[in-house]
Amino acid sequence: MAVSFIAEDYSRPIQPLFSHGAQVGIVHSVFKKATNITFNETLLALLSDELPRMPNSVRLRSVVTDELLPKMQPGMEVYVGNDALIIPSCDFSLFLSNAPVWEPRPDVSAYKWNNETVAKHTRLLTQFLAKKQLQDGLAPLVEVLFHKQSLQETPLLHMAMPKLRLLAQASWRQNIAGIEEATRGLAGLGPGLTPSGDDVLCGFAAIMKLLSPQLSSDSQSRKHIASIIATVAKPRTTNVSAVLLEHASRGEVAEQFGSLLLTLRLPAEECKTVLKAADRAQAFGASSGGDTLLGMLLGLRALEGEID
């Protein structure tokens, strides 16, 4: 007997996928609280409502995902369209109906931004990330990039370090060839569905798209850099990363990173609020949180001016 459910909420960018005629997708990957489904070059994430929203997500009640996800396997066919998602092998149907729509692009234009205050928050967050003493991913490079500390390099860190410096320097100078070179070196760098290099690029691209018009110290917008990064990285990385980079190039980010970004507008004395948001962001995934935060901080630093 088929079972039907209504989504708890969904991200605005995935709505067109449901509004068109039915098309066939394939289950890409399954986890305890989430599954990814591919439709041509689009990727939809079905999440438990215990998880933060993603720019490409539909969230279900946790009791539903706890029942559904153990039945799902990579390669299963999924049909989506006409306001519904159907998984025949699981006798499962999902409808958007009147579910709330979530906007993954923070409304940065609704607030006033102060360069000096944001710079103070940036320094606070680099110290926060350094104190975490993370061992995985690229987050350990915060010590080298921002605090001039030496670090025992792994092969991953050794490959990434010069590309991160180049990304920041070329973005400040608006050197397109340098941005492309740095992106080619970082895209797909590291293991996993979203390699560390891609997570850094996502954080960096989102800052360029959303905040460069407000915070560039030379008053020049660098929004175009975000789309350059997404375009160059796409053929060099995983499907999941490519989709998330495309969202980041439009300023569409996961819920916890958007919340953190908006705390940067707060007065300097609101440091506890900023750190609380940073803690939630950093805790995301095995290393994705720290890596994305590193990318955001590198982007913010690049908007301040020339980097050594």
pLDDT in tens, 53-98: 999 999 999 999 999 999 999 999 999 999 999 999 999 999 998 8
Short-list 148, 146, 154, 212, CA closest to 179: 212
Rounded Cα distance between 226 and 206, Å, is: 7
Amino acid type, 92 = F
* Cα distance between residue 262 and residue 214, in whole Å: 13
Q: What is the mean pLDDT of the chain?
A: 94
Cα separation, 286 vs 117, whole angstroms: 30
Which residue in this structure is represented by tokens 């088929």?
2
149 pLDDT band, cuts 50/70/90, is confident
Q: Which two tokens stand for residue 234?
A: 């796409």
pLDDT digits over 101-141, tens only?
Answer: 999 999 999 999 999 999 999 999 999 999 998 888 999 99
Residue 2 pLDDT greater than 70, yes or no: no
Work out the pLDDT band at 303, boundaries 50, 70, 90.
very high
Question: Hunting for tokens 């590309």 — which residue is that?
Answer: 163
**pLDDT score recorded for residue 175:** 97
Domain boundaries, given as residue ranges, for the chain:
3-102, 108-304
Measured in Å, how far apart are the chain's first and last C-alpha atoms?
A: 64
Give the model's confidence band at 26: pLDDT under 50 very low, under 70 low, under 90 confident, else very high.
very high
pLDDT of residue 218: 94
Mean pLDDT of the region 142-165: 88
Distance of alpha carbon 52 from alpha carbon 289, whole angstroms:
12
Q: Residue 56 in contact with residue 45, Cβ under 8 Å? A: yes
User: The tokens 């995985």 sit on which residue?
Assistant: 136
Taking a C-beta distance cutoff of 8 angstroms, is the pair 229, 204 a contact?
Answer: yes
**Model confidence at 306: pLDDT above 80:** no
| Residues linked to residue 23 through DSSP beta bridges, in sequence order | 80
Contact 122, 278 (CB under 8 A): no
pLDDT of 151: 74
Give Cα 297 distance to the centre of its chain. Answer: 14
Q: In what order do the strands lie in the sheet with 92-95?
A: 3-6, 92-95, 84-87, 77-81, 23-30, 34-39, 42-48, 57-60, 9-11, 101-102
Percent of the residues in the chain that have a pLDDT greater than 70, as a whole number: 99
Selected from 1.10.10, 3.30.450, 2.40.50, 2.60.40, the CATH number assigned to the domain covering 3-102 reads 2.40.50
Q: Which amino acid is at 214?
A: Q
Q: What is the pTM of this model?
A: 0.95
- Read off the tokens for 296: 């955001």
Q: Give alpha helix (H) positions in the chain.
A: 15-19, 62-68, 115-132, 142-147, 155-173, 176-186, 196-215, 224-233, 239-249, 255-263, 271-282, 288-304
Contact 259, 279 (CB under 8 A): no
Q: Convert the pLDDT of each residue in 227-255 to its tens digit.
A: 999 999 999 999 999 999 999 999 999 99
Whole-angstrom distance, CA of residue 32 vs CA of residue 222: 38
